Structure 1
Amino acid sequence: MTLTPLTPDHLQQVVVQLTPEQLRQLVMMAQQPQRLTRATNTSELLDGWLKSKKSKQTRRSYDWDIKCFAAYHQKTLPEHARLDDLDLNLLAVEDIYDYSAYLEDLESKGEVARNTVRRRLASLMSFLRYASETGFILGNPARGLELPEKPDTVTERILTEREVLRIIDHAEGRDRLLLEFLYYTGARVGEVATLTWKSIQPNRNGLGQVTLHGKRDKMRNVVLPMSLYTDLLTTRISDSPSEAVFKSRKGEKPLKERQIRRVVDAAAKKAGIKGHVSPHWLRHCHASHAQDRKAPPHLVKDTLGHSSLDITSLYTHVKPDESSGLYLAR
């Protein structure tokens, strides 16, 4: 069948016969972007958006950030948030700015850090941009939002060696081992939360070594101080390689990132350290203290996973007895 295109005169006759409501709907349909997603609800859209992120750690962080927004909207806790009850089409600009003000209020009370505020807002902005670009929602209510200025706090996060060792001394049992592991490996909190015994093995020289899965799923091997390796092995109660190294006291489940952060902050407060100390502070301290003790810069980078892998990095572990954590005081 051949369709005859409307002439301008015919089109004008059709338009003048439309009611104001029909005309408004016609305009909205004309503005509606092509729908590029099969998602029918918010959780399906979130799953699709997260699949575009290569790093497992990034996916976990973004998933949590969106659940935090849903929880704020539903006046509940993030773990109880119902994503499918969050209708993105009903969100207005005011909802986004109210959430931004809420996070800034939490920051002013010392309950969250500025970087946490920035990340949660950036995650929400990215998700809503994805929803708009795929045609899931008509407009992007976060389009005009600007992130708070990023603070330069790296220097503030460098504790002295004495302060770090004091923090470790104010913890016992599992918590002490957790703090030591964070400091001597320079691991990220997400890397520790997913750590299983499969990743802790002796290397070819019999020294303890941990394989850490970092950003963009890149792996790196870090040699452990012998005393830390021995102490870790004494806590192992199962031969299962999939068992978590650092488990919750209430069960066999691994510690979550927020639980690890609470352990670090609680020990720092007991040690009299001012500020909201996080696991990342220990990572900064590792880098600073190791270089102060003349650890080779390339070794610090490889231990912390700062640099991308290339041909040269294949020879990094020719010296299997080294990691920058071995340069730190004990």
Structure 2
Amino acid sequence: MIVALYYYIHLVNTLENWGDRFLDHYTGKTAVTYSNTLKQSFEAMSERGLEAIGLRDIRSWLDELDCAHTTRVKHLNILKAFFNWVIEQDDSPIRRSPTGKRFLLAAPPDTLQERILSEAQVAALIDAAAPGRDRLMLRLMYEAGLRVSELCGLCWKHLKAGEISVYGKGGKSRRVGISPALWELLNADRGTAGEPAFASRTGKALSPVDVHRVIKSAAAAAGLPDGVSCHWLRHSIASHALNNGAAPQLVQQSLGHSSLATTTKYAHILPGQRLGDFVKV
């Protein structure tokens, strides 16, 4: 029993030592991210020992993780970087990486279509929200393609001359124009510059949890599918705008997509559409 325990501790320390040496090359957020991945994987595979870890061990660990596909891919890439570094060292106990160059994670089924509401469903959702603040913020979230965090961060000073200044993902900012009808509704009860555009009863800005609660309540009242969330409105406006003839570049700029490829995945071929309908001969 004592011998077995010593052997187990020795294997753990071996993995940890290699991990520490690898992490010495990184700092800041990268070091933290890499460290978290190595720690989780080492805890799951420590009984194998560095030289005994194989592709099956890594695949099994990744499959058991309760996380998004993109997170699994991130973990795999970090492990690939780690093992590639190990085999380059003079005292490496392994000659080849257990991940292999060709090992990729299969992409999950594309469920985007399931998270796009029809225009009639969006209208029903907005109408089912309480009149005033709730109905207005759902309409703005849809028409401007806002993320829930962007909506919660809006102050009146960000709304000027028919446009809103949006501070979004990755610290990027963009300006989004809104319709005259919606602009008129927003300005009907305008507050001072520094006040939140959508506030709670105490005057503080609504939190994402507050907005999600409004969405869930309105979706249930409208008889919409389970799982409707704030982000469904963003998916929906992208699809509706493109299918109604909006330029992909306009949708990309308005939603703050970093790549046009992200935007065009919302474009769909409508029943009965033909190339000849878009040209004049």
What is the TM-score of this pair, normalised by structure 1? Answer: 0.51
Task: Tell me the residue number matched to 1:194.
Answer: 153
Residues paired across the two proteins, number:
220
Partner of 2:121: 163
Question: What is the percent sequence identity of the aligned residues?
Answer: 33
Whole-angstrom distance in 1 between the partners of 2:17 and 2:166? 50
Alignment of 1:163-312 (within 5 A): 163-172=121-130, 173-202=132-161, 208-240=162-194, 243-256=195-208, 258-307=209-258
Structure 2: any 5+ residue segments left out of the alignment?
1-5, 46-59, 84-97, 261-281
How far apart, in 2, do the equivalents of 1:280 and 1:234 lie?
Answer: 26
Alignment partners' CA distance in 2, 1:180 and 1:101: 40
Q: 1:147 Cα deviation (Å)?
A: 7.4
Distance 2:106 2:153 in 1: 30
Write the distance in 2 (CA, Å) between the matches of 1:276 and 1:233. Answer: 32
Alpha-carbon contact 2:155-2:197 (below 8 Å) kept: yes
In structure 2, the residue matched to 1:11 is none
What residue identity is the alignment partner of 1:283?
R
CA distance in 2, matches of 1:214, 1:235: 25
Q: TM-score, normalised by structure 2?
A: 0.59
Q: CA deviation at 1:181?
A: 0.8
Alignment of 1:1-330 (within 5 A): 24=10, 28=14, 31=18, 32-33=20-21, 36=24, 48-49=28-29, 92-93=43-44, 103=66, 117-118=68-69, 125=75, 149-172=107-130, 173-202=132-161, 208-240=162-194, 243-256=195-208, 258-307=209-258
**Cα distance change, pair 120–174 in 1 and its aligned pair in 2 (3 A):** farther
In structure 2, relative to structure 1, the CA distance for the partners of 1:239 and 1:215 (3 Å cut) is: closer
Gap change, CA 1:50 and 1:160, over 3 Å in 2: same
Contact 2:146–2:255, Cα closer than 8 Å, also in 1: yes
Unaligned stretches of 5+ residues in structure 1: 1-19, 40-47, 53-61, 67-87, 104-115, 134-142, 203-207, 310-330
CA RMSD of aligned residues (A): 4.6
